[in-house]
Amino acid sequence: MGIMNKFLTFCIFMVLGCGPEAERNERTYIIENSTNVSLNLKFFTVLTDGARVIELSNRGDNVSESTIQTASFRDDDTISYISGAFSADSIVVIFNNNSKLTYTYSATDNIYSSPVERNVFRPSNYQSIGNGNFLYKITEEDVERSEPCDDNCD
C-alpha cells in the first residue's frame, strides 16, 4: 500500500471516528441538616482508609456533590448514583457527638441498609428540587432513631 493510500485510509478513519460529542447528564445530590443539633457526616469507602468528615453545625447547612454520566439516569433504586457522587459506600451521621446513624450501600448486591426508606444512598429518598438537584433532609426523626455512643462516636 502506497503512502497516498495510507494517508487516505487515515483520513477516512479520522472523519468516521469524529462524531457528535456524547450527551452529558449531571445531577447534584444535597444532604441538608434539618435538625436543631450539630452533626458530622463521615464518608467512608471500602477502597480507602480513613474518612472524609463534613460538619453541618446549623439547621440549613448542607453538603452537595455532583455526578456526570453520558447515559441517562435511571429513576429507580436499582443503582445508587449518590454513592458515586459522594465517593462513599457508607456514611455515619453523628449528632452532637452523642448518638449516630450509619447508612450503607453495596453496589455489588444493590443492597441498602435499614431503614431503607431513610437510607441516604437510596435515590427515591431524595426530593427533586429542579435543575438536576436532589435534596435529602436529615430530620429530628433521624436524631430520635440514632443510637447512643456516649461521647465516643469516632
Per-residue confidence of the chain (154 residues) as pLDDT tens digits? 566 555 555 555 455 555 555 566 788 889 999 999 999 999 888 766 667 788 888 888 888 887 776 556 656 555 677 888 888 899 999 999 899 999 999 888 889 999 999 999 998 999 999 988 989 999 999 999 999 997 678 7
Q: For the chain, state the CA radius of gyration.
A: 22
Residue 17 lies in a domain: no
Residue 103 lies in a domain: yes
- Give the whole-angstrom CA distance, residue 88 versus residue 56: 18
Residue 14 lies in a domain: no
Structural domain count of the chain: 1
Residue 81 lies in a domain: yes
Residue 131 lies in a domain: yes
Q: Is the pTM of this model over 0.85?
A: no
What is the predicted pLDDT for the residue at 152? 78
Residue 13 lies in a domain: no
Residue 7 lies in a domain: no
From the list 104, 116, 43, 45, the residue with the least C-alpha distance to 77 is 116
What is the predicted pLDDT for the residue at 82? 84
| Parent domain of 131 | 22-148
